[in-house]
Amino acid sequence: MISFQHVSKTFDGKVKAVDDVSFTVNPGEIVGFIGPNGSGKTTSMKMMTGILNPDEGSIQIGKYDIVKEPLKAKQEIGYISDNPDQFLRLTGLEYLNLMADIYGIAKEERGGRIERFAKEFGVYDVLHRQMAGYSHGMRQKMMVLGALVHEPEVWILDEPMTGLDPESAFVLKQMMREHADKGYSVLFSTHVLEVAEKLCDRVVIIRYGKKLFEGTLEELVSRYHNQSLEEIFLEMMNHEGI
Amino acid sequence: MKVYKQLVRTFTNSGEMEMPKSGKQKLFYAIMGIIAVCFIMVPCCLLVGYLSYGITLALGDGCADGTLFIIHFIALFSIVFGMNVILNVFYFAGDIPYILPLPISPCKVVAAKFTTAYLSESVMQILILISALVGYYFATGIRWFLLPFALIGTLTLPVAPLAYCGIMCVLVMSFTKLIRKKSHARKLSIVIFLFLLIAALYFVSLLRDIDMMQFTEQLKAGKSSFFYAMNIVFPTNYFFGQMLTRQSLMAFLWYVLVNAGFIGVFLLLAQKLYYRGVIGLGAEGGDKKPRTVAVNMVKAVKVNKPWVAYWKKELKVLFRTPAFFLNCIAVNGLWPVLAYAIYVMQSDSAIFQWFYVSYRIGNEMAQWVVTLLVLGVTVLLTAANSIASSSITREGKQYGFMKYIPLPYETQFHIKAMVSILISAVFVEIYVVILCIALKVSMPAALFYIVVSLLEVVFISYLGLYLDTVNPKLVWDDELNALRGNYNIFFNMAYAMLIAVIFALVLAALYFFTKMPLWILDIIIIVLLLIANKWMIAVCLKKGIKNLEEL
Ligand SMILES: Nc1ncnc2c1ncn2[C@@H]1O[C@H](COP(=O)(O)OP(=O)(O)O)[C@@H](O)[C@H]1O
Ligand SMILES: [Mg+2]
């Protein structure tokens, strides 16, 4: 469960990147976090994971408050950041092992998990190579594996589909569905509507750091008199307020 | 010309470090800047100026060989360091993929990159060179009509060594068809560095025939193989010296011509070979081990405690990234060159012999000097390798990792400090042990030196780590860029020197006013260092972690 309550964040005293945003991701739910570039998605997710401190508001991950009990909250989170160019000097396997070590995964679980995930995403054969030699998509896959190798309860995925090939994107979507069906929570950001349409139980739409809409897609469509999603989205982005 | 200017501006901006925005940190930075200027720049410049002044006076007749000696030395060092900078700027920089598709001639790109490197790398060099010139000026004077030319000459002296580096780089990298992979090329850069180091060592060893006591006489007589060799390698330096000595505009003309020649050759080669080299450097590369390797590796995974895994990751990044390996680890090897230079020049001299004997018979002054030497070298080495003062910077854009993993910040800080402590200590202790053997130090004294240097390494490491939390340079696209133009490293050295000076002064005052026996003083030193360490670690953890949280 993620509970994001009245959170605000201002950069350099000027840019209000997130402005009094509230929403929750309930157990068993996939929530799409939708907004154009620069709307505050990454900033929100960084606050959920402890990378940034919120100026105001409270954020709860599972049972824990990320500000008050950061270590316990972080243990529950699997986070994919928006930058896959990380740890390029490590081999893929070393990176996955690092993540598994840090989250304290026992040997029996780890080996099997790495093998299964790596095979599903088609990166098993390159695990022994330094990630500097990976393509963008391969790096993104490693980020996905690194975030999921400890089987966290709460997934916070910042534009996870970027750069993935269709098969891997499909695998990831399936994994998200399975994870939610086990009663856990998935939040993922995107600016691509089709992805959200097929996958999400609910969506949160933000623009200029303000929440415009929270609810199911059906609710959204009915409110807008049955236009197509794309039309609705463009209309929302072009008009002040709703 | 317009394109060239635009490129220079772009390159310069992208390499620069972002300054802190909030008021408190700004003030902190300003204060550190002033300290750095006072405790690195000013002493260096004064020392060089005085050296130049002293030798010139002794030489008489307006002979500029004393100044030229300094100029040669600086040129030598600037080649050893410049080579890597140039290699990186030309071939590994993150902007290359964006530049290549643009319709700009290689010559212009290279000229712009060269200018940027010159502007960013030469500031300190030029300050020192100007000090040397000022020293010369006060010793003999320079005729008024020569002054502007002398100044122009001083400002452009670093060009030729850098052009040397450029020519070597372009030539070596034109064979990238053979190297192909970037990772190999990066390793090659380490080999080149070591090669240049050895070459520098060779030139320095030519100083053997100079005796410090009779240095000026020998210079006067014009018999020094060091000078002979360096004048050939750096003709620009030679003509610059001639201009001063003979007060000759003709020599300046030659100086300009030779410089133009260097740049001309460099740009010509670049026009022909640069793109070939860059394009030849294809992928980052990686070995093609068979599939079974991956299978076996997954089966053989080892489980580590979280902090052990973190520790290993830190070491892997340091050792596997050539820019870090070179600047943080291999650089420690420079100290022997310096030590060797001093030894070569001094070992037969009367002062050295006298010192050696007085130390052996227990002269307190001599023992003092050795203690201070150990303190000084330790501080300098630990701060100069920048392992601690770049620990947050090295994370770069992935610094979020430090914050979203469930590993306490304290643990991460201790590990980062420990990396610096361990690597610095290894090198420091090598020198301490060599020193102990050279001076045939007694066992207890040797133990004392070792303990003291270890305590200092700990202090400087936590200090460096703390300084890097204030305003780490997180935005860089290639790794050398993380270290270059990074003020935190500079500040760490300034602070380290300031503290070493204060420490030495306090101890000296204690000694001279109380006349207490040296062994009591030794104990006081250790106790003081222990207290200082406890305080520094506390500050680093408390304020440093707060800084990290606010990043
Ligand atoms: N470190 C930062 N400093 C200043 N402004 C920032 C910083 N990070 C993000 N911003 C600003 O915050 C706003 C939201 O950015 P972001 O959360 O990255 O958007 P999104 O992920 O939705 O594309 C943007 O206007 C961006 O310029
Ligand atoms: Mg984003």
Return the number of other C-beta atoms located less than 10 Å from residue B223's C-beta.
12
Residue B250 makes CB contacts below 8 A (sequence gap 6+) with none
Ligand found nearest the CA of A44 = 1
Residue of A nearest to B399 (CA): A51
Integer angstrom CA distances of residue B487 from A108, B29, B423: 47, 9, 22
Residue of B nearest to A104 (CA): B306
Q: Which residue ranges make up each domain of chain B? A: 2-20+34-278, 305-550
DSSP state of B144: G
Nearest to A183 by CA among A76, A60, A62, A27: A27
In the predicted model, is pLDDT for residue A224 greater than 80? Answer: no
Among A97, A121, A157, pick the best mutation site for testing chain B contact (most B Cβ within 10 A). A97
Q: Do B294 and A87 touch (CB under 8 A)?
A: no
Phi/psi of residue B287, each to 5°?
-80, 155
Among B25, B287, B401, pick the best mutation site for testing chain A contact (most A Cβ within 10 A). B401
What A122-125 contacts at long range (C-beta under 8 Å, 24+ apart), as own/partner pairs, is A122/A167, A122/A168, A123/A92, A124/B294, A124/B298, A125/B291, A125/B294
Task: Please tell me which of the candidates A12, A83, A130 has its beta carbon nearest to residue B398.
Answer: A83
Q: Ligand 1 pocket, A168 CB below 6 A?
A: no
Alpha-carbon gap, residue A205 to A186, rounded angstroms = 16
DSSP state of B282: -
Domain limits, CATH 3.40.50.300, in chain A: 2-76+153-239
Ligand found nearest the CA of A206 = 1
Ligand found nearest the CA of A11 = 1
Q: If 0-12 CB within 10 Å is exposed, 13-18 middle and 19+ buried, where does residue A78 land?
A: buried
Alpha-carbon gap, residue B51 to B53, rounded angstroms = 5
Which residues pair with residue A25 across a beta bridge?
A2
Q: Tell me which H or E stretch contains B283.
A: none
Cβ-count burial B372-401 (b if 16+ within 10 Å, e if not): eebbbbbbbbbbbbbbbbbbbbbbbebbbb
Report the sign of the C-alpha dihedral through residues A125, A127, A133, A134, in that order.
Answer: positive
Q: Tell me which H or E stretch contains B302.
A: none
Report the sign of the C-alpha dihedral through residues B191, B193, B194, B195, in that order.
Answer: positive
Q: If 0-12 CB within 10 Å is exposed, 13-18 middle and 19+ buried, where does residue B224 land?
A: buried
Q: Ligand 1 pocket, A170 CB below 6 A?
A: no
CA dihedral A110, A115, A116, A117 (to 10 degrees): 80
Surface of A (103-132) touching B: CB under 8 A: 103-107, 110-111, 114-115, 118, 124-130, 132
A10 Cα–ligand 1 center, Å: 10
Surface of B (289-308) touching A: CB under 8 A: 289, 291, 293-294, 297-299, 301-306, 308
Residue of B nearest to A129 (CA): B286
Pocket test for ligand 1, best of A7, A8, A11 (most atoms within 8 A of CB): A11
- Residue B314 C-alpha, separation from nearest chain A C-alpha, in angstroms: 10
**Looking at ligand 1, which atom is closest to the CA of residue A45?**
17
Region of residue B334 (phi > 0: left; psi between -120 and 50: alpha; otherwise: beta): alpha
A15 Cα–ligand 1 center, Å: 8
Q: Ligand 1 pocket, A43 CB below 6 A?
A: yes
Q: Do A93 and B294 touch (CB under 8 A)?
A: yes
Nearest to A69 by CA among A55, A57, A59, A56: A59
A92 with A129: CB under 8 angstroms? Answer: yes
Nearest to B170 by CA among B82, B270, B89, B263: B270
**Looking at ligand 1, which atom is closest to the CA of residue A209?**
14
Q: Note the pLDDT tens digit of each residue in A3-41.
A: 999 999 998 878 889 999 999 999 999 999 998 888 999
Tracing tokens 């960013």 back to the chain, one arrives at B120
What per-residue confidence (pLDDT) applies to B291? 56
Alpha-carbon gap, residue B488 to B32, rounded angstroms = 9
Ligand 1, atom 10, residue with closest C-alpha = A17
A38 Cα–ligand 1 center, Å: 5
A190 Cα–ligand 2 center, Å: 8
Q: Which two tokens stand for residue B132?
A: 């040397």
Q: Do A107 and B284 touch (CB under 8 A)?
A: no
Alpha-carbon gap, residue A164 to B451, rounded angstroms = 54
Q: Do A51 and B397 touch (CB under 8 A)?
A: no
Q: Which two tokens stand for residue B382?
A: 């630990």
Q: Do B309 and A102 touch (CB under 8 A)?
A: yes
B280 with B181: CB under 8 angstroms? Answer: no
A with B: how many residue pairs have Cβ under 8 Å apart?
Answer: 116
A143 with A86: CB under 8 angstroms? Answer: yes
What per-residue confidence (pLDDT) applies to B70? 87
What per-residue confidence (pLDDT) applies to B213? 59
Residue of B nearest to A42 (CA): B400
Q: Give chain A positions within 8 Å (CB) of B408.
A: 71
Q: Model pTM?
A: 0.87
Cβ of A77 under 8 Å from any chain B Cβ?
yes
**Looking at ligand 1, which atom is closest to the CA of residue A206?**
22
A146 Cα–ligand 2 center, Å: 19
Task: Please tell me which of the candidates A90, A105, A111 has its beta carbon nearest to residue B316.
Answer: A90
Q: Which two tokens stand for residue B191?
A: 């080999």
Strands (E), B89-143: none
Residue of B nearest to A119 (CA): B295
What per-residue confidence (pLDDT) applies to B218? 67
Q: Do B400 and A49 touch (CB under 8 A)?
A: yes
Q: Tell me which H or E stretch contains A190.
A: strand A185-190
A154-158/A185-190 β-pairing: parallel
Q: Which two tokens stand for residue B375?
A: 């303190």
Ligand 1, atom 12, residue with closest C-alpha = A17
Residue B452 makes CB contacts below 8 A (sequence gap 6+) with B371, B374, B375, B378, B525, B526, B529
Mean model confidence pLDDT for chain A: 88
Q: Give chain A positions within 8 Å (CB) of B398.
A: 81, 83, 85-87
What per-residue confidence (pLDDT) applies to B282? 57
Q: Which two tokens stand for residue A105?
A: 């995964």
Q: How many helices (H) and strands (E) does chain A have?
A: 9, 10
Q: Ligand 1 pocket, A39 CB below 6 A?
A: yes
Return the number of other C-beta atoms located less than 10 Å from residue B405's C-beta.
22
Cβ of B353 under 8 Å from any chain A Cβ?
no
Region of residue B281 (phi > 0: left; psi between -120 and 50: alpha; otherwise: beta): beta
Cβ of A46 under 8 Å from any chain B Cβ?
yes
Q: Which two tokens stand for residue B112?
A: 């712009």
- The angle at the Cα of B242, spanning B239 to B244, to the nearest 5 degrees, equals 115
Nearest to B494 by CA among B370, B336, B386: B386
pLDDT tens across the length of chain B (551 residues): 788 888 888 887 777 777 776 777 788 778 888 887 887 788 889 988 998 888 888 877 778 888 888 898 889 888 888 888 888 888 877 788 788 888 888 888 889 989 988 888 888 888 889 999 999 888 887 778 888 888 899 999 999 999 999 998 888 887 766 666 667 777 777 788 888 888 887 887 777 666 655 666 666 666 677 888 888 889 999 999 888 888 888 899 999 999 999 999 999 998 888 887 777 665 555 555 555 566 666 667 788 899 999 999 999 999 988 888 888 998 887 776 677 766 766 666 667 777 778 887 877 778 888 888 888 889 888 988 899 999 999 998 899 999 999 999 999 999 999 999 999 999 999 888 888 887 888 888 899 999 999 999 999 999 999 999 988 888 887 888 888 878 888 888 888 888 888 888 888 888 788 877 878 888 988 999 999 999 999 999 999 999 998 88
Cβ of A157 under 8 Å from any chain B Cβ?
no
Q: Do A111 and B294 touch (CB under 8 A)?
A: no
B427 Cα–ligand 1 center, Å: 43
In the predicted model, is pLDDT for residue A216 greater than 90? Answer: no
Alpha-carbon gap, residue B182 to B176, rounded angstroms = 9
CATH number among 3.40.50.300, 3.40.50.720, 2.30.42.10, 3.90.1280.20, domain A2-76+153-239? 3.40.50.300
Q: Ligand 1 pocket, A37 CB below 6 A?
A: yes
Cβ of A89 under 8 Å from any chain B Cβ?
yes
What per-residue confidence (pLDDT) applies to B538? 96
Alpha-carbon gap, residue A186 to A199, rounded angstroms = 11
Strands (E), A14-140: 15-25, 30-34, 56-61, 64-65, 77-80
Radius of gyration over every alpha carbon of chain B, rounded to an integer in angstroms: 25
In the predicted model, is pLDDT for residue A241 greater than 70? Answer: no
Residue B390 makes CB contacts below 8 A (sequence gap 6+) with B328, B468, B482, B483, B486, B488, B489
In the predicted model, is pLDDT for residue A242 greater than 50? Answer: no
Residue of A nearest to B396 (CA): A86
Alpha-carbon gap, residue B12 to B95, rounded angstroms = 12
Cβ-count burial B253-276 (b if 16+ within 10 Å, e if not): ebbbebbeebbeebbebbbebbee
B470 with B488: CB under 8 angstroms? Answer: yes
DSSP state of B38: I
Q: Do A75 and B306 touch (CB under 8 A)?
A: no
Among A10, A44, A61, A89, pick the best mutation site for testing chain B contact (most B Cβ within 10 A). A89
Q: Which two tokens stand for residue A41?
A: 């998605």
B160 with B234: CB under 8 angstroms? Answer: yes
Ligand 1, atom 4, residue with closest C-alpha = A11
Q: Do A111 and B299 touch (CB under 8 A)?
A: yes
